Amino acid sequence: MRILTTLCFISLSLSSCSALPSKFSTENIMKLHQGMSSDEILTLFGEPEKIRVAVCGRPPDQWTCTTWDYPYDRASFTFNGEDDSLKLNNFNVDRN
């Protein structure tokens, strides 16, 4: 019985890890729109878990894009612009 209880606890712990933080409320997600500043995203959702920088687009319309990933790759925000003036270009939030 003790083993079953331990397994249930581990299962519940792991399933709660896959959820996004409470900052990813419907209210905050509905505020998202292209052109938002990175500071606005930080205010709404806090610091990202991972940051990636890449080249986006195809020649001659290439630009440097920066992508912020949030817990468990369940949310990502891709920006264009320079470090001090990042603007939201694309986003994905998977709450399921």
Q: What's the confidence (pLDDT) of residue 9?
A: 41
Q: What's the confidence (pLDDT) of residue 20?
A: 82
pLDDT per residue rounded down to tens, the chain (96 residues): 555 444 334 444 444 455 788 999 999 999 999 999 999 999 999 999 999 999 999 999 998 999 999 998 899 999 998 877 899 999 999 988
User: Cis bond leading into 60, ω under 30°?
Assistant: yes
Please state the domain extents for the chain. 25-93
CB-based contacts of 77, cutoff 8 Å, min separation 6: 41, 48, 67, 68, 70, 88, 90, 91
CATH label, 25-93, candidates 3.30.1450, 3.40.50, 1.10.10, 3.30.160: 3.30.1450
Q: What's the confidence (pLDDT) of residue 3?
A: 53
Reported pTM: 0.76
DSSP 47: S
Q: What's the confidence (pLDDT) of residue 12?
A: 40
Q: What's the confidence (pLDDT) of residue 44?
A: 96
